[in-house]
Amino acid sequence: MSGSVEVRQFLLRYEGGDASALGGVPSQRAGQPDSPRVSDDQVRRARLAVATGATDAEDCALLLDMLGLVPDEDGQLPAQR
């Protein structure tokens, strides 16, 4: 358990954050209200990573759906809402 705490503290120091000020919890990312949280390039790379690690087509489809990388009825990705 202490290993994961050490990793978080290292990452906070690396990114310029103060682990004691945040209490070990990452802060929320700031962004424009109308910009997607996940870019189209990130979606493309995530889909490729899932396809590479999936055992078969059914596994790939299930993982993509679980990660919000399958468009809904409106054509929007849940990951980009």
pLDDT in tens, 20-34: 544 555 555 555 565
Number of domains in the chain: 1
* Predicted local confidence at residue 19, as pLDDT: 44
Spatial CA neighbour of 27 closest among 19, 39, 38:
19
Does residue 32 lie within any of the structural domains? no
Helices (H), the chain: 2-14, 19-22, 40-53, 57-66
Does residue 30 lie within any of the structural domains? no
Does residue 6 lie within any of the structural domains? yes
* Predicted local confidence at residue 39, as pLDDT: 85
Range of the domain at 17: 2-25+38-76
* Predicted local confidence at residue 62, as pLDDT: 94
Token readout for 16 is 């310029």
Does residue 33 lie within any of the structural domains? no
